[in-house]
Structure 1
Amino acid sequence: MDAAMPALVGEGLHKGFMPKGAKRSVQAVADVSLRIPAGRLSALVGPDGSGKTTLLRLAAGLMRADSGTLQVLGIDVAADPQAVQDRISYMPQRFGLYEDLSVQENLDLYADLHGVAKDLRQARYARLMEMTDLGRFTARPAGKLSGGMKQKLGLACTLVRSPQLLLLDEPTVGVDPLSRRELWQIVQQLVDDERLSVIVSTAYLDEAERCAQVFVMHEGRLIAEGAPQAIRDNAQGLCHIAKPPPGMAARTLQARLLDAPASIIDAVPQGGDVRFIRRPDADEAALAALFDGMPVETVPARLEDGFMVLLRSKHPQPAMAAPQSSPVAAAPGAPGEVVIEVKDLVRKFGDFTAVASTSFSVRRGEIFGLLGPNGAGKTTTFRMLCGLLPASSGFLQVAGVNLRHARAQARSRVGYVSQKFALYGNLTVAENLEFFGGAYGLRGARLRERMQAVLDQFELQGQEGATSGQLPGGFKQRLAMATGLLHEPEILFLDEPTSGTDPLARREFWRRITALAEAGVTIIITTHFMEEAEYCDRIVIQDAGQLLALGTPQQVRVQAGSAPDMEQAFIGIVTQAREERART
Structure 2
Amino acid sequence: MTIVTAEQLSKIFPNKDTPALHALNFSIETGKITGLVGPDGAGKTTLIRMLAGLLAPTSGKLEILGTLMPCTQSSLLQQIGYMPQKFGLYEDLSVDENLRLYAALQDVEAPKERIQELLEFTSLLEFRTRKAGALSGGMKQKLGLACALIKKPKLLLLDEPGVGVDPISRINLWEMIQTLIKEDVAVLWGTSYLDEADKCDSVILLNVGVSLYQGFPQKMKEPLKGEVYLVSTISTDKRRLLTHLLHAPDVMDAVLVGNTIRVNLKAGTSFPIVHLSGYDTRASFAVCAPTFEDAFVRLLGVKTEPESLLANQMAPKKEHQGYLIEAKKLTKTFGNFTATDHIDFKIGRGEIFGFLGPNGAGKSTTFKMLCGLLVPTEGTALVMGENLYTAGAEVRSYIGYMAQKFSLYSTLNIINNLEFFAGIYGLSGKHYTQKIQDIIETFDFESHLTTKAELLPLGIKQRLALACALMHEPSVLFLDEPTSGVDPITRKEFWTHINGIVKKGVSVMVTTHFMDEAEYCDRIMLIYHGKAIATGTPDELKHQISANATMEEAFIQLIHDYDAKVRR
TM value normalised by structure 1: 0.91
State yes or no: 1:289 paired with 2:275.
yes
Structure 2 letter corresponding to 1:259: H
State yes or no: 1:96 paired with 2:92.
no
SS in 2 for 1:338: coil
Distance 1:224 1:131 in 2: 34
Checking the alignment, whether the CA contact within 8 Å between 2:388 and 2:396 is kept in structure 1 is no
Distance 1:387 1:157 in 2: 39
Q: How does 1:304-453 map to 2 (within 5 A)?
A: 304-312=293-301, 315=302, 318-324=303-309, 326=311, 329-330=314-315, 332-334=317-319, 337-406=322-391, 408-453=393-438
Partner residue of 1:474 out of 434, 454, 459: 459
Checking the alignment, whether the CA contact within 8 Å between 2:347 and 2:353 is kept in structure 1 is yes
User: Is the alpha carbon distance of 1:109 and 1:407 closer, same or farther for their aligned partners in structure 2, counting shifts above 3 Å?
Assistant: farther
- In the alignment, which residue of structure 1 is the partner of 2:558? 573
User: Is the alpha carbon distance of 1:411 and 1:28 closer, same or farther for their aligned partners in structure 2, counting shifts above 3 Å?
Assistant: farther
- In the alignment, which residue of structure 2 is the partner of 1:275? 262
Q: How does 1:69-80 map to 2 (within 5 A)?
A: 69-80=61-72
Partner residue of 1:263 out of 250, 254, 258: 250
**What displacement does 1:83 show?**
4.4
Distance 2:419 2:511 in 1: 27
Structure 2 letter corresponding to 1:253: L
- In the alignment, which residue of structure 1 is the partner of 2:127? 137
User: Is the alpha carbon distance of 1:130 and 1:257 closer, same or farther for their aligned partners in structure 2, counting shifts above 3 Å?
Assistant: farther
User: Is the alpha carbon distance of 1:92 and 1:336 closer, same or farther for their aligned partners in structure 2, counting shifts above 3 Å?
Assistant: farther
State which drifts further: 130-139 or 222-231.
130-139
SS in 2 for 1:489: coil
User: Is the alpha carbon distance of 1:273 and 1:127 closer, same or farther for their aligned partners in structure 2, counting shifts above 3 Å?
Assistant: farther
Checking the alignment, whether the CA contact within 8 Å between 2:362 and 2:529 is kept in structure 1 is yes
Structure 2 letter corresponding to 1:512: H
State yes or no: 1:15 paired with 2:15.
no
**What displacement does 1:121 show?**
3.2
**What displacement does 1:308 show?**
1.7
State yes or no: 1:55 paired with 2:47.
yes
- In the alignment, which residue of structure 2 is the partner of 1:246? 235
TM value normalised by structure 2: 0.94
Checking the alignment, whether the CA contact within 8 Å between 1:539 and 1:551 is kept in structure 2 is yes
Checking the alignment, whether the CA contact within 8 Å between 1:367 and 1:524 is kept in structure 2 is yes
Checking the alignment, whether the CA contact within 8 Å between 1:391 and 1:404 is kept in structure 2 is no
SS in 1 for 2:88: coil
Partner residue of 1:121 out of 78, 89, 112: 112
State yes or no: 1:510 paired with 2:500.
no
User: Is the alpha carbon distance of 1:549 and 1:330 closer, same or farther for their aligned partners in structure 2, counting shifts above 3 Å?
Assistant: farther
User: Is the alpha carbon distance of 1:52 and 1:570 closer, same or farther for their aligned partners in structure 2, counting shifts above 3 Å?
Assistant: same
What per-residue deviation string (whole Å, max 9, x for no partner) do you get for residues 381-400 of structure 1?
11111111111111211233
Query: Can you give the 5+ residue segments of structure 2 that lack an aligned partner in the other structure?
Result: none
Distance 1:344 1:357 in 2: 4
Structure 1 vs Structure 2: percent identity of aligned residues?
43
State which drifts further: 133-142 or 402-411.
402-411
Distance 1:203 1:259 in 2: 26
User: Is the alpha carbon distance of 1:31 and 1:191 closer, same or farther for their aligned partners in structure 2, counting shifts above 3 Å?
Assistant: same
User: Is the alpha carbon distance of 1:356 and 1:89 closer, same or farther for their aligned partners in structure 2, counting shifts above 3 Å?
Assistant: same
| Paired positions, count | 565
What per-residue deviation string (whole Å, max 9, x for no partner) do you get for residues 475-499 of structure 1?
3322222111111211111111111
Partner residue of 2:29 out of 19, 30, 37: 37
State yes or no: 1:183 paired with 2:173.
yes
User: Is the alpha carbon distance of 1:288 and 1:446 closer, same or farther for their aligned partners in structure 2, counting shifts above 3 Å?
Assistant: closer
State yes or no: 1:107 paired with 2:104.
no
Query: Can you give the 5+ residue segments of structure 1 that lack an aligned partner in the other structure?
Result: none
Distance 1:448 1:563 in 2: 50
SS in 2 for 1:140: coil
Structure 1 letter corresponding to 2:461: K
**What displacement does 1:464 show?**
3.0
Distance 1:404 1:421 in 2: 25
SS in 2 for 1:476: helix
Q: CA RMSD, aligned part only?
A: 2.2
Structure 2 letter corresponding to 1:536: C
Distance 2:128 2:508 in 1: 39
User: Is the alpha carbon distance of 1:135 and 1:66 closer, same or farther for their aligned partners in structure 2, counting shifts above 3 Å?
Assistant: same
State yes or no: 1:204 paired with 2:221.
no
- In the alignment, which residue of structure 2 is the partner of 1:499? 484
What per-residue deviation string (whole Å, max 9, x for no partner) do you get for residues 141-193 of structure 1?
2222211111111111211211111000010001111111001000111112x
Distance 1:185 1:336 in 2: 49
Distance 2:163 2:277 in 1: 35
User: Is the alpha carbon distance of 1:222 and 1:336 closer, same or farther for their aligned partners in structure 2, counting shifts above 3 Å?
Assistant: farther
**What displacement does 1:50 show?**
0.3
Checking the alignment, whether the CA contact within 8 Å between 1:12 and 1:31 is kept in structure 2 is yes
Distance 2:320 2:380 in 1: 23
User: Is the alpha carbon distance of 1:328 and 1:339 closer, same or farther for their aligned partners in structure 2, counting shifts above 3 Å?
Assistant: farther
Structure 2 letter corresponding to 1:139: T
- In the alignment, which residue of structure 1 is the partner of 2:206? 217
Distance 1:336 1:201 in 2: 48
**What displacement does 1:102 show?**
2.6
User: Is the alpha carbon distance of 1:387 and 1:26 closer, same or farther for their aligned partners in structure 2, counting shifts above 3 Å?
Assistant: farther
- In the alignment, which residue of structure 1 is the partner of 2:513? 528
Distance 2:534 2:139 in 1: 24
Distance 1:189 1:581 in 2: 30
Checking the alignment, whether the CA contact within 8 Å between 1:336 and 1:363 is kept in structure 2 is no
Structure 2 letter corresponding to 1:498: T
